[in-house]
Structures are given as structure tokens and as C-alpha cells.
Structure 1
Amino acid sequence: MLSKNPRTRIKDSPLSIEAGERYRKQFARPDEQSRGYTDSELRNVAEFLQAQFNTGINMFGALKKFSGAWLSRSGPLWMPFMEVPASSINTPVDGARRFVAQSWPFERIRALGRAFDGTFNDAILAVCAGTLRLYLANHAELPSKSLKAMVPISLRKEGDLDSSNAVGFLSADLATNVNDPAERFAVIKASTHAGKQFLHDLTVNEAQLVSTLLQVPGMLLLPLGLMSKLPPYNTIISNVPGPRQPMYWNGARLAGMYPASVVTEGIALNITMVTYDKHVDFGFMACRRSLPQAQRLIDYMEEAIVELEVAAGKR
């Protein structure tokens, strides 16, 4: 329903029944049966069949590499449940929520990644880490051990544009126990690099199996109400790419795209962001009881960005 052209006019609301019917007709499958299969569809079928054939091999390889990484804990590679500190973020949640949203210029965030020889995602994590550190410190709740975050990443190999979507998860060290912003960025960068390297050294199927294995303990703890006592990580931080140009509806420019994610028992804060046009739109979803004054998170985020800019010599 949104358009790149501000002059485009659409009669119905994007939430109307008429719009839904028109959308279904527009993307309905053709009635004729002679369409044939696309290369992408055939490739997906082939990948599925191969995955089923190799399940035993993939499972064995995934278990071997997963257990090796877990038992030989060394360097910047982290796994869920490894030295995850207790915090107010990891408490039982109730039904009250607070949603906080704010936008920052895309180039401002990307400049931080370049200044510290890291990626845009490293900069996002460093900004979120500084935000959480300031919030917890101001509530006298900053743990001596560093917070850990679950970070979804794409497992698609470079140059692979056609195969099925593949998403994995890594456990990132947020270095919230490090006072210096530059040192904190370096720890985060090393952690994410180690996690990505571990997953990319696996086949796509092995990596997906490992990502599933990483989530199984939490899935078992959740029904028992033990997630707050044995959290696999402290929070979830997700970066979702959005349209890089302005979008319009009947000439009205879309101001922002603020993602509202969910919190679960024992994980009372979820941070999600969408890159849209020339800015990054952050959405913080928090349990209001577990994280009082969560609206201050956007103030602390600005402080965290300024801290990094000062450390990078940009102020």
C-alpha cells in the first residue's frame, strides 16, 4: 500500500477490507496450471531433499562442533548460558508494557562503526551496550559481569541470492563491565566476529541445527518458570533492514518505522531497530514492572552515542 512516489493516490486505507481483497487478487496464483516452476522453486525443493538426506550427517557434525565450542570456552566466543549475570532485565514479567521509540541518523551510527574499524551492526550493539550500562548504573543495578545479548544473523553465504532464507543466532558479549567506550567496542567487535566465524565455518544446515540447539534449553526452561533464574542471555537485539528511500501513502510521507517486538518470561527487554530512509528507527519493548522508567532508555542512548563519538575523536 505504500509507494515511493508521493503523487500516487490510493483510495482505500491500508487496513481496509477492500485493500486486503485487492492485495489477495494482485498476488493470487494464476488459474492456469501450465505456469511451470522457477529456478528458485526447483532449487528450494532440491535443497529440502538434500537436507533431509543429510540430516544424520548434519546433526552429528553440528553436535560435535557445538559441544566443542561449549566445552573449550576460550577467547571471545560465547554461547548461551555462559556467564550470564543476573539483572533486573531477567526477572518474571507481568502484563504491563512500555514501548519507547526514537530515531537517529543512519550516517551517525555508521560513522561510529567506521571510526572503530567495525561494522554497522557492531556500532548498533555498542550503542545498545552503552545504553544498558547507563540505565543499570543509574538504578544501581549494573552487574560486575558483562551482559550478553542474543543477536539474529543471516547465514546466507556470500553471493547466494536465490536459496531459502537461513537465519542463525549468536550470543554477543556487550562488555557492559568495561568503562571505556573504545575498549567496549573492541570487545563487542571481537565477540561478534568470533560468533559469525563459528557459524559461517559450518554448513548452512549445520548452522541452523546449532542455532536450534542453542534455543532448546530456553524452550524447556520457559514452561517451568525458570528463565529468570537461568537466562540464556540478558536481552535480544535485532537489526531489520528496511527501505532506503522515503515511502508515501496518498502523498503523506511515512515518518518512521518503529518495530514493536515482544518480551518473554525472564527476558524483560527486547530492542529492535529498522533502517529506513536516512535514519535508524529504534523500538524498545519492556516489562514496565521489571524496568521502571524505561522511557529514559532513549536519553541514555543519546548519551551512549555521544560517549562513542568523543572516544572516536568526533567531538
Structure 2
Amino acid sequence: MSAVMNKIESLANPPAQATGTGASTGKAAVAEAAPAARPARTGGGVRRRLRAVGATVFPPVLGIAFLVLVWQIVSASSDGIPTPLVTLTEAIKIFSDPFYSKSPNDQGIGWNLLASLQRVAIGFGLAAAVGIPAGFLIGRFRFLSAMFNPLIAILKPVSPLAWLPIGLLVFKAANPASIWAIFICSIWPMIINTAVGVQRVPQDYMNVAKVLNLSEWKILTKILFPSVLPYMLTGVRLSIGTAWLVIVAAEMLTGGVGIGFWVWDEWNNLNVPHIIIAIFAIGLVGLLLEQALVAVARAFTYEDVKS
């Protein structure tokens, strides 16, 4: 608390500005030197910006070029792997009409991606609705923490696909079973990260809450939630990545419309270019989901102002 008070006092009482002849002389010298240095700074600034853009753009482009080169070498030595050019040609055909629908089992890649995203949204939303409040309770009350930590330690390492037969047994249908698999794999990172965030709230904050006789609701909304938010968002990011990984495997086993079933169906048809296209589509959608949550995390993360 003393360190916080010292920081507050330093912010409230900034160092006095230099006054007198020395300060005015220094300002005059800076004013005289500024016009001569301005052109050099402008040219240097442009060069720095160009170097920064090159440092940002060049490495990813080089990485993609390296991937295409390795891909070309592998395809040249294997008859089963299509070349990058053949795959690109097929991708143009697929994405020229991604939302066609000829039959329940013959639909465009767009419909399959949307079906998978819908399952992920439902399972992930249910996991957030249960996992985040559970994390707050487990982190807030030691009895609940001691009660549920052994259960979490046992159930968390279980593969989500191991829960899929339980879902099929209970729900008697493939779609809710897939959502169940998403739910069970998404809930653990949210519970654990939220509980850890609550447990790492400084004890001084809780002591002040006791002194002020704050209600449990005010402790939750005024103290715990702002402090736990970065941990909670980290759990959400981990959960969405895991959910998107699991849905592909779950749909391969359950069938129906979905990107996982689409990959399995193309394998049965020995259409390898379509499988590679699906791999890139899955990776791109996962990247977009991750970046969206990163943007949300940045919007709700507050950094201390440096004095």
C-alpha cells in the first residue's frame, strides 16, 4: 500500500520544471537547433517506417514461400500429394460457389463451415455460462476450491473425444453429442483461469472491502471482476482454440453437415486437393477466431500509467 501511495503522490506532485536563465537558454538552443535537424529527422523517419514495414511483411511472406517450396518438393516426389498450383485451381472452383446445396450430404464448404461454427458457438457459450461463474466461486471460497480441485484434476486431462460416446448415449443424436464434446473441452480453461485470477487478487483489496463492509455483489463487481478480467479472457481464448480443434474430430465421427465431415467425405472420395483446402480453411477460421478474442482482450485490458 505504501508503494501505491508513493506512486499516487509522485503522480500528484510531478517534478518542478526548470526555471530561470538556464532553462530559457536551453529552450532557445533547442529552438535554434530544431529547424536544421528537421529535414534529417524526416528522412530518417521515412527510412525507419520502411524498415518497420519490411520487418513486418517480409518474414511472413518468406515463411509462406518456404511452405510452398517444401510443398512443391514433396508433391514432386509423391504421386498422391497435389501441387500448390493444382490445389489453388481447385480452391478457386470451391470458393466460387461455397454455398451450393444439392443434397443433405452434398453441400458447399461455406455451409459446412457455418454448421461447425454454430456447434462451436453453442457449446462454447454454454461452457462460458457455466465455467466462468464456477471459476469465481471456486476461487472465492476455499471450501469449494478444496472440494472441486481434485475433480478438475482428474477430468481435465481426459480427451474430449472420450466424452463423445457419453453424449451419444445420453442425447441419442449426433448434433447434441458434438455440442456436448465442445462444452466439456471448453469449460476447463475457463474454470481454472478464472479461479486463479480470483485467488491472485491482492489481499489488501479484500481487507478494504471488509473495512467498508461491502456486500458480496459489490465485491464481485467492483473488485473481483476488474482484477480477474485478464485471466478470464485468457481462459476464453484457450477454450475457443480447443473447441475449434475438437469439432473437426467430433464431426468426423458423428457425420452430418460440418467441416470435419466434409474432410472425411473427401477422403472417402480420395479427393486430396479438397482435403488440403479444408485444412487451410480450418486454420484460417481458427486464426480469425483467435484474433477476434485478442482484440476483445486488448479492449478490456488496462495498463498502469508509467510515471
Q: Which has the higher contact order (CA 8 A, sep 6+)?
A: 1
The normalised TM-score by structure 1 is 0.22
Which is higher, the Rg of structure 1 or of structure 2?
2
The structure where helix makes up a greater share of residues is 2
